[in-house]
């Protein structure tokens, strides 16, 4: 796959990035989400999920939209994230990046969604 010509899909839900203490249990409400990511480190537990699921009082940053890179991607491919983040950085759009075994996900604030789409299309990326 040529990293300069990626196919992207915009996921339907507005997303939130939630922060918990490092030893906190994964909340029960996360099982209701179609797309979510859980990352635990020694410093924190981070959960990305649909913002409609986030319980009141949870430390979170809402209003994100998520692009899925159509995969699967091979681990030997170089520059995938760079080819997505470089045009966004030039446009002043901040990102939050997630990766799975098969593909990558890129989140931008919804207020920057149109600008992000324009910047990515200008680099030759396609939206499906």
pLDDT digits (tens, 9 = 90+) for 58-67: 999 999 999 9
Domain that residue 26 falls in: 7-127
- 3 state DSSP class of 100: coil
User: Counting Cβ atoms within 10 Å, is residue 41 exposed (0-12), middle (13-18) or buried (19+)?
Assistant: exposed
Classify residue 106: in a domain, yes or no.
Answer: yes
> What is the tally of structural domains in the chain?
1
Distance between CA 56 and CA 67 in Å, rounded?
Answer: 26
Classify residue 1: in a domain, yes or no.
Answer: no
Of 16, 55, 49, 56, nearest to 34 by C-alpha is: 49
pLDDT at position 1 over 60: no
Classify residue 114: in a domain, yes or no.
Answer: yes
Q: State pTM to two decimals.
A: 0.90
Q: What CATH number does the domain containing 75 carry?
A: 3.30.2130.10
Cβ pair 68, 6 in contact under 8 A: no
């Amino acid at each position: 796959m040529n990293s300069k010509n990626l196919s992207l899909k915009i996921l339907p839900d507005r997303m939130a990035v939630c922060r918990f203490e490092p030893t906190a249990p994964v909340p029960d409400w996360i099982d209701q989400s179609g797309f979510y990511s859980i990352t635990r480190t020694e410093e924190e537990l981070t959960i990305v999920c649909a913002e409609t699921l986030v319980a009141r009082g949870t430390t979170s940053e809402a209003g994100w939209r998520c692009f899925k890179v159509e995969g699967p991607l091979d681990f030997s491919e170089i520059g995938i994230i760079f080819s997505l983040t470089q045009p966004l950085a030039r446009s002043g759009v901040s990102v939050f990046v997630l990766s799975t075994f098969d593909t990558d996900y890129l989140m931008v604030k919804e207020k920057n969604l149109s600008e992000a789409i324009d910047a990515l299309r200008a680099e030759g990326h396609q939206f499906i």
